[in-house]
Copies of this chain bind each other. A is one copy, B any other.
Amino acid sequence: MVRTTKKVSKAKKKPASASQKGISLRLALAQVNALVGGFKANAEKVKSVCTKARKMGADVVLFPELMVTGYPPEDLLLKKSFIEDCQKTLKKIASATRGLTIVVGFAEQQGEHLYNSAALICDGKHVATARKMLLPNYGVFDEKRYFIEGDEPLRFSLKGAQIGLTICEDIWEESGPGKTLSRHIDLLLNISSSPYHKGKAQSRRQMIVQRAKSYKCPIAYVNLVGGQDELVFDGHSLVVEANGEILAQGNSFEEEIIYTDIALSPKPGKTESSKILSVKAPASLTKFKNFVQLPICVYREKPEEEEIYSALVLGTRDYIRKNGFSKVVLGLSGGIDSSLTAAVAVDALGPQNVVGVLMPSPHSSKGSIDDSLALAKNLNIKTFTFPIVPAMKAYEYILKETFKDTDSGLAEENLQARIRGNLLMALSNKFGGMVLTTGNKSEISMGYCTLYGDMAGGFAVIKDVPKVLVYELCEWLNRDKIIIPKNVLTKEPSAELRPDQLDTDSLPPYDLLDPVLLRYVEEDASVDEIKVKGLSKAEIQRIARLVDLNEYKRRQGPPGVKITPKAFGKDRRLPITSSSK
């Protein structure tokens, strides 16, 4: 958990000191996993990091945005007692962090107003507060529901260096508070809780590098790590020089403390003003500083598939564990979706905590059994097998009179899926594991799934992963040895709810469907704006219509990890009732 970059350790070898013309600061970026509402756990985490950082002689330790409450606390922020608990916890944290300067995010009540704030705590005293000035209220964010904008940025001086302090969104706008601050400071701090999606780490890093260059000011950026309901935070904390050079970088989806020595050269005219809060470096710091060998660790850039897979693993692990579960159960159909879901579950929780359930019907192919068992063997997980025919017959008997003279169709197909859902839930109710659902984003978009059937469960691991990406992730998983059986990757997708059924009976091929869904669901394009070779306008129209019509199903599905720029859930808030259908 304790790391720094190679570059930093090099810098270490010729330590800058305050007596030279420059100033050297040792930063500790605490890229940690906070728990929403977990005041006690979060305070313990802060204290434990501080104990380590003190030994390392850190001049300032940065914790993520809303570290004290966890992020996002949502409507817990409307509870008076929650805000009081936050205040009490902050006080406890302050008194336990003597001998250090730390920055920690908390929810600040001032009269009727609530602010998303960062406390500057020096040697056990809460000496100043920065208030977030730009409040995101788009996508998954609802910050204007809770907070008031701060009206001026905070700067303070530490060891002769002028330092500015901002919070998350504040740095995303070029002309935001960072710009005003940058004229007066030697270092810009930003504490964030910035959620992950595919490509976000790269664009975030690019943005921060660009800010550092345009502000002509080094930036230290710390980000949360961990899963919270639909969101997963990727870490990827950063220290960037004024010339845009990356000095240190946190790894993705892992807790770590990133130590960096940064040499600052106060520009002329930036001398301490009496109007600026001056923070005294606690005495204990100098005592430690010169004796410490900073740990070395190199940041490792992950390929995109690994990054996404890691997001799914951490998002799933945290959802299961933070909700008090340790085990999961899921249906194995021999298809690629349940195979990927099982693999993620095993990496999240260990094979001993994952149970696969085979529930064949007369429409199940032999492959569906063999492939499921092969997968279970590769993953080393336990399985149950429950043929569902007796339940199918029971419903048939109960409904015989009412359904006579009707053709077998959707009702009968959905009953099979629902019998399976019932069996999984019965196992969960009896033995306590959470049911994972296995639907991907393409089928959830189209409503190609059964409410209370395959949609029944507590967490939908790959609900935001389009089908084509499901294949790509499985192929990446198989890069060294076969985990997902070959046959799973090559056979035609089928729900196996009637004889010889194939997904392509109802849906366009996934390599044509997914680009349409990307444009329609994630980019809000209209049917007229979407062009995909191989699909007619009528086919695109039909896809859009099915996406709209099935909003009601998605509304009743469990949460799952957001990995795209726009996931179903609080990221995309469409009415169910709408004649745009």
Chain B residue nearest to A390 in the complex (CB):
B394
B residues near A411, Cβ cutoff 8 Å: 426-427, 429-430
Q: Is the CB of B577 within 8 A of A319?
A: yes
B residues near A429, Cβ cutoff 8 Å: 409-411, 414
Number of interface residues of A (CB under 8 A): 87
Q: Does A127 contact B (CB under 8 A)?
A: no
Q: Is the CB of A418 within 8 A of B422?
A: yes
B residues near A430, Cβ cutoff 8 Å: 402-403, 406, 409-411
Q: Does A503 contact B (CB under 8 A)?
A: no
Q: Is the CB of B579 within 8 A of A38?
A: yes
- Bound Cα distance from A37 to B548, whole angstroms: 12
- For residue A65, give the distance in angstroms from its CB to the closest CB of chain B: 16
Q: Is the CB of A524 within 8 A of B393?
A: no
Q: Is the CB of B397 within 8 A of A390?
A: yes
Q: Does A20 contact B (CB under 8 A)?
A: no
Q: Is the CB of B576 within 8 A of A81?
A: no
Q: Does A73 contact B (CB under 8 A)?
A: yes
Chain B residue nearest to A324 in the complex (CB):
B581
Q: Does A292 contact B (CB under 8 A)?
A: no
Q: Does A419 contact B (CB under 8 A)?
A: yes
Q: Mark A522-539, 1 if CB is under 8 A from B, else 0.
A: 001010110000000000
Q: Which of B229, B458, B576 contacts A559 (CB 8 A)?
A: B576
Q: Which of B142, B318, B573 contacts A74 (CB 8 A)?
A: B573
B residues near A418, Cβ cutoff 8 Å: 418, 421-422, 425, 452
B residues near A323, Cβ cutoff 8 Å: 552, 576-577
Q: Which of B387, B415, B451, B576 contacts A229 (CB 8 A)?
A: B576
Given contacts A145-B137, A414-B426, contact A577 B456 (CB under 8 A): no
A-B contact pairs, 29 of them (CB 8 A): A36-B577, A36-B580, A37-B580, A41-B579, A74-B574, A76-B574, A78-B524, A80-B524, A81-B526, A137-B144, A137-B145, A142-B145, A145-B573, A323-B576, A387-B398, A388-B398, A390-B397, A393-B394, A399-B426, A403-B426, A403-B430, A409-B429, A414-B426, A414-B429, A418-B418, A418-B421, A419-B422, A556-B557, A559-B576
With A390-B394, A395-B422, A411-B429 given, name 8 new contacts (CB 8 A).
Answer: A36-B579, A37-B579, A388-B398, A410-B429, A414-B426, A415-B422, A419-B422, A556-B558
